[in-house]
Amino acid sequence: MLEVNKTVFVDMDNTLFDFDGAATKALPEVIRDQYGQGQEFYVASRFPEEFQQIIKNTYNHPDFFANLELLPGALDAWEVMLDHGYEPQILSSPLSSNPNAVGGKLESLRKHFVRRFGERVITSAIIDKAKWNYLGLALIDDRINPAQGNTSSWQHVLFSRPHNLGDDHQPRLESWIDPEENIIPLLDTLGLCEPREK
């Protein structure tokens, strides 16, 4: 049984894994550079109409989720949470347009996490849009409003990505690892979260 006040939920797409980078990989680099940093949450919406179907075809491919690349420092940050008594747990939304999304997400966890952290990463993973239904200390997520207006027990830690840089939400986690100082800034951010009742 996970201890609620130590449970840190972690989103997958654009938080642990580089969803947007993979979704736009088929586009010319100049187009990615011109439109990819937009403020729209949905990556296809940042691009002109003639490129949107290419992006949708890419992220709806059966093997898309199983082949996503981890963001730098993600595995080390997971280990830091475990070492300091937190209980990290996947809490990620399925992509309804891709029937293979759930299986692909679990496969990507198996590929990258299980060897280092064991099967529990998969058996405890929650793939559900209704993230507000789960009790925990924090949710680290790139979406500005992951509770979608519902009451949640966890405190939202906004994981910085280009599409949310215009929002002043706090607490915010800039990255899993500070490339200049080579440190994991996660613990200071989690220290700002206080347990609360739903």
pLDDT digits (tens, 9 = 90+) for 91-145: 999 999 999 999 999 999 999 999 999 999 999 999 999 999 999 999 999 999 9
pLDDT the model gives residue 1: 42
Q: How many CB atoms lie within 10 A of CB 190?
A: 21
How many Cα atoms occupy the beta-carbon half-sphere of 115 within 13 Å? Answer: 5
Average pLDDT over residues 7-13: 97
pLDDT tens-digit series, residues 42-82:
999 999 999 999 999 999 999 999 999 999 999 999 999 99
pLDDT the model gives residue 92: 98
Q: How many CB atoms lie within 10 A of CB 112?
A: 19
Q: How many CB atoms lie within 10 A of CB 167?
A: 13
Average pLDDT over residues 13-29: 96
Label residues 65-85 b or e (16+ Cβ within 10 Å = b).
Answer: bbebeebebbbebbebbeeee
Looking at the whole model, is its pTM more than 0.85? yes
